[in-house]
Structure 1
Amino acid sequence: MQLPDSFFENRKLENLVENQTSYTLNNAAMHVFETHQQAERVLLQFDKPVLASMLHGKKIMHLRDHNSFDFLPGESLILPADEVMCIDFPEAQHSNPTRCLAMAIAEDKIKNVVTLMNENIGKADGQEWSLMDYNFHFTNDAGIFQILQRLLFLFTENHPSKDFFVDNMLQELIVRILQTNNRKIYTDKALKLSSDNRLAYIIQYIRDHLHESLSVELLSRKACMSESNFYRVFKNELGLSPVDFINTERIKLAVSLLQDPNRKIKNIYLECGFESRSYFNRVFKRMNKISPGAFQAKVAKG
């Protein structure tokens, strides 16, 4: 993500460690933190739920009751109100500063969006949407990346209607994060949940049959749902279509198989359930920004 020119035109660099530039609107505040020298055990806390997203550089995060982990560009973290973050900056330099976005969102706004989702976006088996898991660490997908980029622009823009613009973007951001969180819960706990949750059962079925032909017709039949209802519920809950989910799981398998330099790509794509080599190449490159052959060669070189 790139900070807009208007940010650099208006910000003042007063501190070398976690210099803070803030923009406050009705339902959210956006803070951009910049660190220009190495530092350790820097403490940070917000009184509202926060989406933290790395823009540039590397942090090491230490959170209560969690193992330490690297926080890198393209990744985000959801934190509850009043969570104390302890942060190391092992690589920050004046010529290569660490930059991070922190979006503090009013709890009432989040609750209102959850209510709207329960009224308009049905879940399987009569379940309801609820607040997201906090301390949820994830990689931004294309949709979340584009929203965050747009929010960076909107917060720094001098426009009389920007509160309205931002409010609409926040609603979409919350929906997408909840779907991403739901997807992680299902994929992490599919086997455990599969006995009494239809989507969890289908996700486990997909994983167990990746090498076979999988269609929406087959999966909807397994879920005892009509095709149209199955497709709608699946996409509403996980934020992507059944076909996109299947391809994501197949590419994950392909990535693991390509770690072996002796494996032939012509065998790998069939093992992963792709019927066409060209389609496999296209999907793999779209998801990984590199061809399967180039990826395998890169792994082999170390």
Structure 2
Amino acid sequence: MQLPANFLKNRKLESLVENQSTFTMDQAAMHIFETHQTADRVLLQFDQPVLASMIQGKKVMHLRDYESFQFLPGESLILPSHELMCIDFPEAQKEAPTRCLALAISETLIDQVLERMNEAMPKSDGRQWGLMDYNFHFVNDAAVFQILQRLLFLFTENHPYKEFFVDNMLRELIVRVLQTNQRRIYTDDTLQLKQDSRLSYVVRYIRNHLHEPLDVESLSKVACMSPSHFHRIFKNEVGVSPVEFINAERIKLAVSLLQDPNRSIKEVYMCCGFESRSYFNRVFKSKKQVAPKAFQQLLQREMF
């Protein structure tokens, strides 16, 4: 995502850590946070449900019941109201700040959308649509990316009908996010493994070494298990095989990197640990139903 030029021109930079610019409307408030120096254990909390989405840079998030994880551009995080975030900024610099939007949405609007969803698009299993009461970290698909980019423009625009435009975009965003939540690759247990378990350590190891060669044999040594035992335990506890997990994490990273139009496909697949472009293309297309280059071009067309 890109911030509108008028935002960078007009906003006031009053703090080097989590400088906050806020745009308020009837049904939502958009906060844009910028951090220009490294910082640790910065606390943040909202009294409404929030969608946070990374624009630039990297954060390390510490949330209840979660392993700490990197929060990267192209990713979003749903937080219930009053959820306390503890945030590290390991790479923020004056010339390369960390930027993130936080969209606080009225629970009244969310309830209206949920009521409409339950009437018009009931779930196949008969359960009701409802707002998550847990943290949900996901990679933006093309639709969510487009909506967030549009909302960045609308909130900072001076237009007599922008309240109407924003209301429509927020309603679609709520539907898209809830549908994304239904399509999660992993169960919540993936991110809630006991911190002292060997598999928890392996999951962190994978996420921190995606750019390096990873296979069952090497990971089994990290876990101090035999390869066969490690493969069986990993799949039972995480819900997918080690290779499936590695590839899915690499594609999540690739989606984030592809949102930078200046990154080449070669640079992306090498940063994600794929050995060849052909294998990267095959795995990416199986996850996203489109080739990496076409995905990158699609994002740029939707941005403008």
TM-score by length of 2: 0.64
Residue in 2 that maps onto 1:149: 149
Q: Which ranges in structure 1 are unaligned for 5 or more consecutive residues?
A: 190-248, 270-278, 292-302
Deviation at 1:169, TM superposition (A): 0.3
Which aligned segments of 4 or more residues in structure 1 are displaced greater than 3 angstroms? 279-288
Residue in 2 that maps onto 1:160: 160
Q: Are the aligned partners of 1:58 and 1:98 in contact in 2 as well (CA < 8 Å)?
A: yes
Deviations 1:41-66 (A, max 9, x none): 11111111100000000000111222
Taking structure 1 as reference, are residues 175 and 90 closer, same or farther at Cα in structure 2, changes over 3 Å only?
A: same
Q: Are the aligned partners of 2:27 and 2:167 in contact in 1 as well (CA < 8 Å)?
A: yes
Q: Return the alpha-carbon distance in structure 2 between the equivalents of residues 14 and 139 of structure 1.
A: 31
Residue in 2 that maps onto 1:289: 292
Residue in 1 that maps onto 2:103: 103
Q: Are the aligned partners of 2:80 and 2:135 in contact in 1 as well (CA < 8 Å)?
A: yes
Q: Return the alpha-carbon distance in structure 1 between the equivalents of residues 283 and 70 of structure 2.
A: 30
One-letter identity of the residue aligned with 1:71: F
Deviations 1:91-114 (A, max 9, x none): 000000000000000111111100
Task: Show the 5 A alignment for 1:263-282.
Answer: none
Residue in 1 that maps onto 2:226: none
One-letter identity of the residue aligned with 1:85: M
Structure 2 counterpart SS, 1:126: coil
Residue in 1 that maps onto 2:138: 138
Deviations 1:137-184 (A, max 9, x none): 000000000000000000000011111110100000000000000111
Residue in 1 that maps onto 2:6: 6
Q: Return the alpha-carbon distance in structure 2 between the equivalents of residues 115 and 282 of structure 1.
A: 35
Deviation at 1:281, TM superposition (A): 9.4
Name the larger-Rg structure.
Answer: 1
One-letter identity of the residue aligned with 1:152: L
Q: Which ranges in structure 2 are unaligned for 5 or more consecutive residues?
A: 189-243, 252-272, 295-304
One-letter identity of the residue aligned with 1:57: G
Residue in 2 that maps onto 1:194: none
Taking structure 1 as reference, are residues 281 and 126 closer, same or farther at Cα in structure 2, changes over 3 Å only?
A: closer
TM-score by length of 1: 0.64
Taking structure 1 as reference, are residues 115 and 289 closer, same or farther at Cα in structure 2, changes over 3 Å only?
A: same
Q: Return the alpha-carbon distance in structure 2 between the equivalents of residues 167 and 114 of structure 1.
A: 15
Q: Are the aligned partners of 1:133 and 1:181 in contact in 2 as well (CA < 8 Å)?
A: no
Q: Return the alpha-carbon distance in structure 2 between the equivalents of residues 52 and 43 of structure 1.
A: 14
Deviation at 1:9, TM superposition (A): 2.3
Q: Return the alpha-carbon distance in structure 1 between the equivalents of residues 33 and 158 of structure 2.
A: 21
Structure 2 counterpart SS, 1:83: coil
Residue in 1 that maps onto 2:230: none
One-letter identity of the residue aligned with 2:76: S
Residue in 2 that maps onto 1:227: none
Task: Show the 5 A alignment for 1:1-302.
Answer: 1-184=1-184, 188=187, 283=285, 287=290, 289=292
One-letter identity of the residue aligned with 1:110: I
| Count, aligned residues | 215
One-letter identity of the residue aligned with 1:134: Y
One-letter identity of the residue aligned with 1:164: F
Deviations 1:247-289 (A, max 9, x none): xx9xx69x89xx896x9x7xx89xxxxxxxxx96994696462
Structure 2 counterpart SS, 1:124: coil
Q: Return the alpha-carbon distance in structure 2 between the equivalents of residues 21 and 83 of structure 1.
A: 20
Structural RMSD (CA): 3.1
Q: Are the aligned partners of 2:35 and 2:99 in contact in 1 as well (CA < 8 Å)?
A: yes
Deviation at 1:129, TM superposition (A): 1.1
